[in-house]
Structure 1
Amino acid sequence: MDTIKANGLEFGYLAQGPADGPLALCLHGFPDSAHTWRHLLPALAAAGYRAVAPFMRGYAPTSVPADGAYQTGALGADANALHEALGGGPDAVLIGHDWGAAATYAAIAQAPERWRRAVTLALPPVPALLAGFLTYEQLKRSFYIFVFQTPLAEMALNRSFVEGLWRDWSPGYDAAEDVEHVMECLATPDNIAAAIGYYRAMLDPSRHLPAYAAAQEAAERRGERPIRYLHGTGDGCLGADITGGAAGVLPHLPPGSQVDFVEGAGHFLHLERPDEVNALILDWLSR
């Protein structure tokens, strides 16, 4: 593992591939870690990319932001700052899962000149969620978001809770290795508060910092670079039904984008079906 400074933080990251290859930045979500890309990094490296998977802000060993900024504008700014720090060019690509997908949408909207193409997994753009999010079934799936708004959140986010989320979100997948990595990332109370902070900033705009006002405004626009969106039909976190299918997601993606559903895969589809998902990603990036 290496470290690099970007956007005022020290990021830990995993990397594979030639140092002079085009940058492929891979962003993880919750409750997860950079190790989630352990199947994709070597595939990207074999295709000639310099594949880099940072630990997201607040997830150890990446530092916890002193200003407590976890809004999507800040996440996108992190990705663009990492592009700069890692020497990325206009041929760089961006891949994000869950909160990493939110960061991806933000980054390509903020600085489209930095990115050639992108892939997002398991979290469509917010407008694609709105129609179905308040259904009874989805509200049951999203209980954790509301728990995280309460003073009980820091006590609730323990190993048992993380294990339960993985079990519910990707039924049948053995997440033991992933849970170990997650708990390493949530090693201190500050790290736990950081992971929860993403969800508090999501529902409480008063937590959005003025320093990121322009970045946040850009993050809420539709970007310019084409995105391939992937979603598992068995996702226990965000039901595939609430997106309205490809027809419901595609209008909220940039021109030239594509939507694919991976039959039977859950929320962590890139870990459950690595060969299939890697092939979809590499096919998209090669176009």
Structure 2
Amino acid sequence: MSTLPPLEPGVLPPGIRARIIPGINGLSVHVLEAGRAGQPCLLLLHGFPELAWSWRRVMPALAAAGFHVVAPDQRGYGRTTGCDTSYEADLAPFRMLNLVRDQLGLVAALGYGHVEAVIGHDFGSPVAAWCALVRPDVFRRVALMSAPFAGPPALPEETPARAPAPDIHAALAALPRPRKHYQWYYSEPGADAEMWHCPEGVHAFLRAYYHVKSADWPGNRPFPLAGWTAEALAQMPTYYIMDLGKGMAETVRPERPDTAAIAACRWLPEQDLAVYAGEYARTGFQGGLNWYRCRTTGRFEAEAQIFAGRTIDIPSIFLAGASDWGTEQVPGALRRMREIACTRMSEVQLIEGAGHWVQQEQPEQVVAHLLRWLG
């Protein structure tokens, strides 16, 4: 697979530069950077369907505070190359411990023995959490955003014998309004094509998807769910618990904002969305979807259970939008993160005026919280 050029300087905001760093765990990694190499380093990890580009609104301010800020396109995303991103690919390179290995390699290639903090959003949040869990000597602090980390999976030997849990997918499908969980939809072979080749095009699909998960969409009023049951999960919006017969592009299509709302969207203007759309129109979504398949197949659960009972004992913080259902999508995860998984979590901040894309919707507040926490 050939190496792609980095994003052109004319696309990047002032103070941000791009380059390709080859030879990292089999990858050529596309990174965005701000600040001066050799300053204390912050490593920023994006989620789905995002890119290093997702951090563009916070990087200059963090750099101005004296940090070398580095945001990679993670494995399977954007201009990072070197892995098979097809549906038929071996999933092992996309498992969580190998994603941590990617970040260890990047830190070493940058010339650092450690970073001041690893900061992860959405699916980047569990990657950041696992970085902190297994290598706290390298990742000295961890900021988790939008996706709570409830800790590594328990050993089955430690849990009392009980009757098998009901099949949540059968229960969702049997509801009066039949439903399915988005992560299992993302694991289906047709999910990539449904989004990549949707009739409205990638740009319009992403506009609808980013809008419906933001604070701009009035339906985002999250609350704690009673438990992992079909009836409780079905209280979430359909971008999480989907109608059984619909794909994601079809699900969010009716919520695409009109021309006036798009023009008024300051946190994601059309020229910024065009960068996302251009990258995903070129690559499709399967590289990121393979991360979900690692989770839903359970294939790597036993490997993760090696760390059962281990906690994150370095300083930590959690930031999310007050309008983000991501904080509640796994019932009990937010409480477990605060009370068990992260023993030195000093703050949980739910930021008003932000939905799921908190560092894009409210970058000034995110920067203020991070800098105060970093001291």
TM-score, normalisation: structure 1: 0.83
Q: How far off is 1:241 after superposition?
A: 7.8
Instruction: Name the residue aligned to 2:339.
Output: 251
Instruction: Name the residue aligned to 1:39.
Output: 57
Structure 2 CA distance, aligned partners of 1:64 and 1:102? 22
Q: How far off is 1:186 after superposition?
A: 2.3
Amino acid at match of 1:70: F
Query: Which structure features the higher share of helix residues?
Result: 1
Instruction: Name the residue aligned to 1:131.
Output: none
The one of 124, 142, 157 equivalent to 2:195 is: 157
Q: Is 1:202 aligned to residue 295 of structure 2?
A: yes
Instruction: Name the residue aligned to 1:185.
Output: 279
Q: How far off is 1:162 after superposition?
A: 2.7
Instruction: Name the residue aligned to 2:27.
Output: 9
Percent of matched pairs sharing the same residue = 30
Structure 2 CA distance, aligned partners of 1:220 and 1:25? 26
Structure 1 CA distance, aligned partners of 2:83 and 2:309? 22
The one of 84, 95, 108 equivalent to 2:108 is: 84
Secondary structure, aligned partner of 1:155? helix
Q: Is 1:224 aligned to residue 241 of structure 2?
A: no
Name the CA shift for 1:119/1:23 in 2 (closer, same or farther; >3 Å).
Answer: same
Q: How far off is 1:268 after superposition?
A: 0.6
Say if 2:73 and 2:79, in contact at 8 Å, map to a contact too: yes
Instruction: Name the residue aligned to 1:100.
Output: 124
Structure 1 CA distance, aligned partners of 2:33 and 2:185? 34
Name the CA shift for 1:104/1:152 in 2 (closer, same or farther; >3 Å).
Answer: same
The one of 355, 360, 366 equivalent to 1:277 is: 366
The one of 79, 83, 105 equivalent to 1:65 is: 83
Say if 2:47 and 2:124, in contact at 8 Å, map to a contact too: yes
Moved more, 215-224 or 28-37: 215-224
Stretches of structure 2 lacking an aligned partner (at least 5 in a row): 1-17, 85-89, 153-167, 173-177, 197-201, 217-264
Say if 2:48 and 2:122, in contact at 8 Å, map to a contact too: yes
Structure 2 CA distance, aligned partners of 1:241 and 1:198? 18
Q: Is 1:55 aligned to residue 73 of structure 2?
A: yes
Structure 1 CA distance, aligned partners of 2:314 and 2:308? 13
TM-score, normalisation: structure 2: 0.65
Moved more, 262-271 or 164-173: 164-173
Q: How far off is 1:179 after superposition?
A: 3.4
Q: Is 1:26 aligned to residue 120 of structure 2?
A: no
Secondary structure, aligned partner of 1:114? coil
Amino acid at match of 1:186: Y
Q: How far off is 1:205 after superposition?
A: 2.6
Q: After superposition, give the CA deviation of every residue in 1:78-136 in whole Å (9 maximum; x if it has no partner).
A: 112211111123353111101111110111112110022111100001459xxxxx798
Instruction: Name the residue aligned to 2:351.
Output: 262
Structure 1 CA distance, aligned partners of 2:119 and 2:360? 14
Q: Is 1:168 aligned to residue 212 of structure 2?
A: yes
Structure 1 CA distance, aligned partners of 2:114 and 2:179? 38
Stretches of structure 1 lacking an aligned partner (at least 5 in a row): 129-133
Q: After superposition, give the CA deviation of every residue in 1:171-212 in whole Å (9 maximum; x if it has no partner).
A: 4255344532323332445x5221111111111133x49xxx
Name the CA shift for 1:248/1:112 in 2 (closer, same or farther; >3 Å).
Answer: closer
Structure 1 CA distance, aligned partners of 2:125 and 2:99? 10
Secondary structure, aligned partner of 2:337? helix
Q: How far off is 1:273 after superposition?
A: 1.0
Taking only aligned residues, the RMSD between alpha carbons, in angstroms, comes to: 3.0
Structure 2 CA distance, aligned partners of 1:11 and 1:23? 17
Say if 2:132 and 2:140, in contact at 8 Å, map to a contact too: no
Instruction: Name the residue aligned to 1:113.
Output: 137
